[in-house]
Homo-oligomer: A and B are copies of this chain.
Amino acid sequence: MSQTLSGAAVVAHGGGPTQVINASLAGVIEERRRCPEITALYGARHGIVGVLADDFLDLDQQDAELVARIARTPGSALGSCRRKVTSADFERILAVFRAHNVRYFFYNGGNDSMDTALRMARLAAETGYELRVIGIPKTIDNDLAETDHCPGYGSAARFIACALRDIGADIRELPARVTVVEVMGRNAGWLVAATALARQEAEDAPHLIYVPEHPISAEQFLADVDAVYRRLGQAVIAVCEGQTDDKGEPFGADMVAADGFQHRLTGNLAHVLAQLINKRLKLRARSEKPGLLGRSSMAFLSETDYQEALMCGREAVRAAVAGFTDVMVTLVREPGESYRAATGLAPLEKVANAERRLPLGWVHPSGHDVMPEFLGYAAPLAGEIQPRPRLRQVSVPASLATP
């Protein structure tokens, strides 16, 4: 550890962007200025695709003020990709790195990207090419192992909590309705669980929250919706795109078969569930799918998430220069009353391809809500959700007998 290694550095993005992906990039760019052993900083255009194509942006030619502005905007400033990297690709990457004397590789991504980083590190080690590989976590799904949470999650949680607050308020004052909102998160319930942050009062939306960690039968789902509707005269339901039923099938698949629907469930779950509610419970139901806005909406940056993403970028450079390799930067929640997090490091091999799901202890035994412990976990990451003021409910005495 800690011996000086002189050479260029490459930073690359993998997978879908987040609201704070460019904050981590800014952290790398900033910190690199303090490290003379890093002789140049290259940004791979479109992630690994750019590395393979020898296509790099010169990140030392960027104005600090511009970088600071870009840091607060979502969408990958470098470009990204979803390429599955082959053995031949790894060889090519190594050749490109050798040609540019790249000795530092910062890879900002999720589970797949951490696997790519690990394999790259191993190939370099096998061939005796000294390369320090550091993963920077990034995913709105919050499903990376070894870290308290992931940069990107807090802002996406903020977006979806505000969305449920706003959709809930829109619908609350309209006639009886059922609305199903589909939330991202793949197989992990972290994001859909965050919709609970939308509630200010007990009967606020969402009235039902389903997480994929707790599979549920479609019949139970319909019974839950029916019960809420009978009690409140409406129901707002948050469901994760990756929800499964008690047979491990996509949520509602059996109902779809039974009812002869032709729809593909993927990419359309909320719509299908709304139709099922309509058909089986005879209730007016519609669906909402905020979709890509959940990870790209500039207006919902969580300040905590932003600061931590920046911190992870900086820490990646510091760790590499200090001699670390084959690790991912993590966020470690510090004990105490008020929220604080520091960075840590975890071996890439513990992170690569692992998937961290919502602890079952944070799912309400009913299977359609989250426990207060989860709210304590998620609230500081999303930041304060501005409450909606309501009129004082002072009624005018009726002047006529009811018709």
B-binding residues in A (CB < 8 A):
13, 16-17, 40, 42-43, 46, 49, 52-59, 61-63, 66-67, 69-70, 73-83, 92, 95-96, 99-100, 162-163, 165-167, 169-175, 179, 261-263, 267-268, 271, 286-293, 295-300, 386, 388-396, 398-400, 402-403
Contact of A268 among B77, B271, B391 (CB under 8 A): B271
A394 to chain B, nearest CB (A): 4
Distance to closest chain B CB from A14 (angstroms): 11
Question: Given known contacts A99-B400, A167-B293, what 6 new A-B pairs fall within 8 Å (CB)?
Answer: A49-B175, A77-B173, A81-B175, A162-B299, A289-B291, A290-B291
Q: Most chain-B Cβ atoms within 10 A of its Cβ — which of A17, A170, A286, A400?
A: A170
Among A55, A75, A296, chain B packs the most CB atoms within 10 A around the CB of A75
Task: Report whether A74 and B174 are in contact in the complex, using a CB–CB cutoff of 8 Å.
Answer: no
Indicate whether A74 sits within 8 Å of B396 (C-beta atoms), given known contacts A81-B174, A293-B288: no
Contact assessment for A296 and B166 in the assembled complex, using a CB-CB cutoff below 8 Å: yes
Contact of A299 among B169, B299, B394 (CB under 8 A): B299
Q: Are B293 and A42 in contact (CB under 8 A)?
A: no
Q: A58-B396, A392-B66 are in contact. Are A167 and B292 (CB under 8 A)?
A: yes
Q: Output the nearest chain B residue to A288 by Cβ-Cβ distance.
A: B291
Cα(A66)–Cα(B391), bound, Å = 7
Candidates B75, B81, B172, B263; contact of A75 at CB < 8 Å: B172
Give the number of times this chain occurs in the complex, counting copies: 2
- By Cβ-Cβ distance, the 6 closest A-B pairs, closest first, are A75-B169, A99-B399, A170-B296, A79-B173, A262-B262, A56-B396
Point out the residue from B54, B263, B402 that lies within 8 Å of A263, measured CB to CB: B263
In this complex, what residue of B is CB-closest to A175? B81
Cα A398 to Cα B286 with chains together (Å): 53
Q: For the complex, what is the distance from the CA of A56 to the CA of B391, rounded to whole Å? A: 12
A43: B residues at CB distance < 8 A? 391
Provide 25 A-B residue pairs closer than 8 Å at the C-beta atoms, listed in order of the A residue: A16-B174, A54-B398, A56-B396, A57-B394, A58-B394, A70-B391, A73-B388, A74-B170, A75-B169, A77-B391, A78-B391, A100-B399, A162-B299, A166-B292, A166-B293, A167-B293, A167-B296, A169-B296, A170-B295, A261-B262, A267-B271, A271-B271, A290-B290, A290-B291, A298-B386
Minimum distance in angstroms from A139 CB to a CB of chain B: 14
Complex contact A390–B70 (CB within 8 A) = yes
* CB-based contact A76/B173 at 8 Å: yes
B residues near A403, Cβ cutoff 8 Å: 52, 92
Nearest Cβ on chain B to A115's Cβ, whole angstroms = 19
- Determine if A80 and B162 form an interchain contact, defined as CB atoms under 8 angstroms apart: no
Chain B residue contacts of A295, Cβ below 8 A? 170
Query: CB < 8 Å: which of B74, B79, B165 contacts A166?
Result: B74
Hey, which chain B residues are within 8 Å of A171, CB to CB?
292
* C-alpha gap A94/B109 in the complex (Å): 64
Residues of B within 8 A of A291 (CB): 288-290
